[in-house]
Amino acid sequence: MKIAVDAMGGDFAPKITVLGSMEAIQRYKDIEIVLFGDEEKIKPYLTNNERISIVHTDKYLDMGEKDPVRAVRSGVDYSMLLAMKACKNGECDAMVSAGPTQVVIVGAHLIVKRMKQMQRVALAPIVPSLDGKGKIILDCGANVELKPEHIDQIAFFASVMAKCVFGYENPKVALINIGSEPGKGREVDKETFEVLKNDERLNFVGNIEPKEMFYSDCPIFVNDGFTGNILVKSIEGASKMFGDALKQEIKKSFWAKITYPFYKKSLKKFKKRFDTSEVGGAMVCGVNVPIVKAHGNSDAYAFSNAIKQVRSMVEQDVIKKVMEGFENE
């Protein structure tokens, strides 16, 4: 299995992408990695090139890229776009980038291409839940605004994925909203509710408020990319704040500090459960190749987990299963 890595994407590239790739190579003996990027800049960090090769380009995207469509159409050999082309041509099986989100989305659209059943591509991170299974939230930022029929397609895509890949019998789908009763939300939410309710392919269970999500037995939560993004970033921020506040309280207490060694393991496990770096990144749903968008500020461990995530998408043959799922409905 060959995984294309955009070595120049992310806030700390190429250091982190190279270290993360070497870490992934150690963890998974069945993968090869192709680093796309500036050989001169990559090499100082590449202390072990076992199963790692480099495709050189000295062009790469700025994290603040303002015009993703122009960037993708420019024909310039940016590292991210070369990695995508390698997937398109079948030279690589999957791709990871911590580069600018909107370029990943536009590149996925225009280079890797959408599945014919999907008019929109969606970003889908897995967020933690109390039962440890995680929840799929989409869209989380690929499309700021979405029409009800697009959300419906995305909901169906996620249902097929939850069924074929995660083994859910008849996966429930809920619409993220500000109240649980029908008729809640913006005009677009009310319309989307009706469309989802009337789609017989879906096991639609109605609206759900963000505070109920973590305790719900529903694995799939949908809305537009603005709503999903606000939701996911709120959880992320709250998670970081809780961790920091807990540390503060422990440091303040004499007894808590003294007995910390006995608590360390529990607190570490607790941290691990909600650490976004454990998850890796967000899946790009609706395109023909497994792509994971890692966090721009990933560290090496988080980046290696993004590789882990895309590896398991290839291993489980997600794209083929979803395609078949679409055809069987």
**Residues of the shown chain interacting with its own copies in the complex, contacts defined by CB under 8 A:** 64, 66, 128-130, 141, 144-145, 176, 178, 181, 183, 185-187, 189, 209-215, 225-227, 229-231, 233-242, 244-246, 248-250, 252-253, 255-256, 258-259, 262-263, 265-267, 269-270, 273-274
CB-nearer residue toward its own copies: 101 or 304: 101
Q: Which is nearer to its own copies, 27 or 246 (CB)?
A: 246
Q: Which is nearer to its own copies, 57 or 229 (CB)?
A: 229
Closer Cβ to its own copies, 41 or 147, answer by number: 147
Q: Which long-range contacts (CB under 8 A, 24 or more apart) does 19-22 make?
A: 19/45, 19/300, 19/303, 20/298, 20/299, 20/300, 20/301, 20/302, 20/303, 20/304, 20/306, 20/307, 21/52, 21/303, 21/304, 21/307, 22/46, 22/47, 22/48, 22/52
* Amino acid at position 265, single letter: K
Q: Name the 3-class secondary structure at 61.
A: coil
For the bound state, the minimum distance from the C-beta of residue 258 to its own copies, rounded and expressed in Å, comes to 7
- Choice between 116 and 255, CB closer to its own copies: 255
Give the shortest CB-200-to-its own copies separation in angstroms. Answer: 27
- Please state the closest distance from residue 319 (CB atom) to its own copies, in A: 27
Rounded to an integer, what distance in angstroms lies between the CA atom of residue 61 and that of residue 79?
A: 8
> Which pairing describes strands 94-97 and 52-56: parallel, antiparallel, or unpaired?
unpaired
Count CB atoms within 10 A of the CB of residue 328. 8
Closer to its own copies by CB, 64 or 167: give it.
Answer: 64
Q: Which residue has the tokens 């039962």?
A: 131
Min separation Cβ 196 and its own copies, Å: 18
| Min separation Cβ 91 and its own copies, Å | 33
**Smallest separation, CB 282 to its own copies (Å):** 13
Q: Other C-beta atoms within 10 Å of 152: how many?
A: 21
